[in-house]
């Protein structure tokens, strides 16, 4: 006696769907899991896409489901009282190829990121201010203007000779003018400037005012 089995289209589709589920689950199980100390206290560990999934033991002995986007992890992946945790990768600031400039005399913690120069620069009152500037567009001197980074001119940075440098700060050249903050008779700094091109024997600080002979 010959027995014939007939499968219609719907039944065949169901069988194919079930086979696909089992094959997909098996493929996921074969994907390697990342290393880490979490393996000592976690179970049913698997990877789904870019997510690490596991049951991790808590301090009271119970188990908790936890997930973690492990692609951004740096170093050990650990079990923190039932939760998967790790140190996240951070974007590092670029400190290479810092541009030249007189700003370095009164600024600190300077670094570049992309087209911008970042720094903490000293103000006239002795405090500090965070500042930044697009240094890629500056082919002149970069100087500190009361805590702010500024782009000067072609003559900036070429400071004239003189004893004023010992009692003045924030010194810069703007065209034919020398600018600075100089100590006055009260022990405070006064903003002053002078057309230094006319000076033949150096510039000096006269109680808060730039002078020359």
Provide CATH code, domain 159-213.
Answer: 2.30.60.10
Q: How many Å apart are CA 59 and CA 48, to the nearest integer? A: 26
- H or E segment to which residue 13 belongs: helix 9-30
Look at residue 96 in the predicted model and tell me its pLDDT.
Answer: 56
pLDDT in tens, 56-73: 999 999 999 999 988 888
Give burial (CB, 10 Å; 0-12/13-18/19+) of 171: buried
pTM beyond cutoff 0.85 = no
**Phi-psi map region of 110: left, alpha, beta (phi>0 left; psi -120 to 50 alpha):** beta
Residue with tokens 């991790």: 56
SS3 126: coil
Q: How many Å apart are CA 92 and CA 116, to the nearest integer? A: 15
Phi, psi values for residue 185, rounded to 5°: -65, -20
Give CA separation, 44 vs 57, 60, 63, 178, in Å: 12, 19, 11, 73
Domain locations along the chain: 37-89, 91-152, 159-213
**Phi-psi map region of 160: left, alpha, beta (phi>0 left; psi -120 to 50 alpha):** beta
pLDDT in tens, 160-191: 888 998 898 878 777 788 888 899 999 899 99
- Characterize the bridge pairing of strands 63-69 and 73-80: unpaired
Spatial CA neighbour of 166 closest among 204, 112, 118: 204
Does the pLDDT value for residue 2 go beyond 90? no
Please give the CATH architecture assigned to the domain spanning 91-152: Roll (2.30)
Please give the CATH architecture assigned to the domain spanning 37-89: Roll (2.30)
- H or E segment to which residue 22 belongs: helix 9-30
pLDDT in tens, 135-151: 887 888 888 888 888 88
Judge whether 37-89 and 159-213 match in fold: yes
Counting residues of the chain whose pLDDT is more than 70, the rounded percentage is: 79
Residue with tokens 């006239």: 124
Q: How many Å apart are CA 34 and CA 72, to the nearest integer? A: 12
């Amino acid at each position: 006696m010959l027995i014939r089995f007939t499968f219609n289209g719907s039944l065949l589709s169901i069988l194919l769907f079930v086979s696909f589920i089992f094959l997909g689950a098996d493929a996921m199980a074969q994907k390697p899991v990342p290393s880490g100390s979490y393996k000592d206290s976690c179970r049913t560990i698997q990877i789904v896409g870019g997510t690490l999934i596991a049951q991790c033991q808590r301090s009271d002995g119970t188990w908790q489901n936890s997930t973690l986007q492990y692609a951004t992890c740096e170093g050990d992946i650990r079990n923190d009282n039932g939760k998967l945790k790790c140190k996240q990768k951070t974007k590092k600031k670029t400190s290479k190829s810092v541009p030249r400039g007189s700003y370095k005399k009164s600024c600190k913690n300077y670094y570049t990121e992309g087209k911008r120069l970042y720094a903490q620069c000293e103000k006239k009152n002795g405090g500090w201010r965070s500042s930044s500037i697009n240094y890629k567009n500056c082919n002149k001197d970069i100087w500190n203007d009361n805590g702010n980074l500024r782009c000067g001119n072609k003559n900036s940075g070429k400071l004239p000779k003189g004893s004023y440098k010992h009692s003045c700060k924030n010194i810069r050249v703007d065209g034919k003018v020398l600018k600075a903050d100089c100590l006055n008779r009260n022990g405070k700094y006064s903003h002053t400037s002078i057309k230094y091109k006319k000076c033949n024997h150096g510039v000096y600080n006269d109680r808060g005012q730039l002078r020359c002979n």
